Amino acid sequence: MHPLRQTRVGMVRMFLNGGELDEITAFRRELHRQPELSGEEVGTARMVTEALRASQPDTVVTGLGGQGVAAIYQGASDGPTVMVRAELDALPIHEISTLPHRSEIDGKGHLCGHDGHTATLMALARALSHKRPRRGRAILLFQPAEENGAGAAAVLADPKFETLRPDFVFSLHNFPGLPLGHAALTEGPVNCASRGMRIVLSGKTAHASCPEDGIAPTFAMAHLLGELTGLGVGGPLNAEFTLVTVTHARLGEPAFGISPGHAEIWATLRTLTDERMGDLVQSAEGLVRQHAVAAGLTASISYEDIFHQCSNAPAAVSALRQALGEEGISHDEGPTTLPMKASEDFGLFGRVAPSAMFFLGAGENHPRLHNPDYDFPDALIEVGGRAFLRTIRNLLG
Ligand SMILES: [Zn+2]
Ligand SMILES: [Zn+2]
């Protein structure tokens, strides 16, 4: 039987009624029409805060690590705090879909499904408003700026986070390529560490007829393009996994009369573990220094989009596994799809509490994440919501 159909049988009523699910689906599509980039999610945060009103959280915290929002549902007695996290941001990619709810903003699109993850938490909010947890607290965290790796760190660094301190943190990401509604879950690493390395080489321009009068970064750049790439060519996703992808390079100006005095190289460094990333950073910086010194150039290096490794804690995985099983949501723990080579800033929550993320199939032939024709499958709102609600009920009653 198709996994999604299997999971729906007799379950829908226990979660939300059809009218409520329709309302939340409409909310998802409204988010989809108005995508905002990392750190700019002002309108999205406002829409979330307004939509939460219908679900009457006990407390709503706004402005968390930027545009983050947290909704707290309080139990009647003391107990643990269970946090579930979704992301608010969209991508600087032009959406090409012809759907009625396609992006209304040129060059921006919800093409990673964060609109759907947010709607899933909104469905969870509605279910929690019908029946609050018996003990402890359930916190729904709408995190900003996931796509550039800044949001989780900013939320954790916000003094307001102290009052939200969780005992468990859960999240999901939709996963095109897996059957619709089928979940993948594993202990240990689920996403890679990565960071953008920006190298600027500065020398001295000269007349193109007399390059010897200047200091051109041409040879240093040519060496670095090859040697940086050679530091890591991928391979099996184990502790040694190392991949360097040069994503952008620029030399001098588009002119025939000038010997260049400036070059810039952007490269994405990727490893499975933070430890291996430390080694890779040292090797890459060593190469840059070596070629800069040899050519008499000055080199500056900066990093952006820093993602740490994302690993699932066994205790949190076992809570999710139990909930998926009880909800009849088909799942597997095979190593075929996990870990993912992509990065995810959810890993940082693992530093404050046992945390786990599961992956929910968006369909085997669904457009891939960040593709211009991607759209979140609305059917997953209910599946993800039920998985999280069951996890919360099992932990908090
Ligand atoms: Zn993404
Ligand atoms: Zn994403």
CA of 301 to the centre of ligand 1 (A): 25
Q: Which ligand is nearest to the CA of 37?
A: 1
CA of 262 to the centre of ligand 2 (A): 35
CA of 60 to the centre of ligand 1 (A): 26
Residue 116, classed as helix, strand or coil, is helix
CA of 118 to the centre of ligand 2 (A): 11
Q: Fold for 193-307, please state it.
A: Alpha-Beta Plaits (3.30.70)
Residues 295/366, Cβ–Cβ less than 8 Å = no
CA of 111 to the centre of ligand 1 (A): 7
283, 289, 292, 298: CA torsion to nearest 10: 130
Tokens standing for 160? 């307001």
CA of 36 to the centre of ligand 2 (A): 14
Pairing of strands 298-307, 183-184: unpaired
CA of 32 to the centre of ligand 1 (A): 14
| Predicted local distance difference test score (pLDDT) of residue 196 | 97
For residues 249 and 229, what is the distance between their CA atoms, to the nearest angstrom? 13
Q: Which ligand is nearest to the CA of 171?
A: 2
| Predicted local distance difference test score (pLDDT) of residue 333 | 87
pLDDT per 10-residue tile (average), the chain, 397 residues: 43 73 97 98 98 98 98 97 98 96 98 98 97 97 96 98 98 96 95 97 98 98 98 92 97 98 98 96 98 98 95 97 97 81 94 97 96 98 98 97
pTM (two decimals): 0.89
For residues 5 and 1, what is the distance between their CA atoms, to the nearest angstrom? 7
Q: Which ligand is nearest to the CA of 85?
A: 2
CA of 342 to the centre of ligand 2 (A): 9
pLDDT tens sequence across 295-349: 999 999 999 999 999 999 999 999 999 999 999 999 998 666 789 899 999 999 9
CA of 370 to the centre of ligand 1 (A): 6
Q: Say which CATH class 5-190+310-396 falls into.
A: alpha beta
CA of 368 to the centre of ligand 1 (A): 10
* b/e 204-221 (16+ beta carbons within 10 angstroms → b): ebbeeeeeeebbbbbebb
Residues 247/193, Cβ–Cβ less than 8 Å = no
| Predicted local distance difference test score (pLDDT) of residue 66 | 97
Q: Which ligand is nearest to the CA of 116?
A: 2
CA of 20 to the centre of ligand 2 (A): 25
CA of 299 to the centre of ligand 1 (A): 31
Domain ranges of the chain: 5-190+310-396, 193-307
pLDDT tens sequence across 360-379: 999 999 999 999 999 999 99
Residue 363, classed as helix, strand or coil, is coil
The count of C-alpha atoms lying within 13 angstroms of the C-alpha of 337, restricted to the half-sphere facing its C-beta, is 20
CA of 112 to the centre of ligand 2 (A): 5
Q: Spell out which residues have Cβ within 5 A of ligand 1, the ion.
A: 112
| Predicted local distance difference test score (pLDDT) of residue 338 | 86
Residue 293 neighbours by CB under 8 Å, 6+ apart = none
| Predicted local distance difference test score (pLDDT) of residue 35 | 98
CA of 272 to the centre of ligand 1 (A): 18
| Predicted local distance difference test score (pLDDT) of residue 334 | 67
CA of 179 to the centre of ligand 2 (A): 18
CA of 198 to the centre of ligand 1 (A): 21
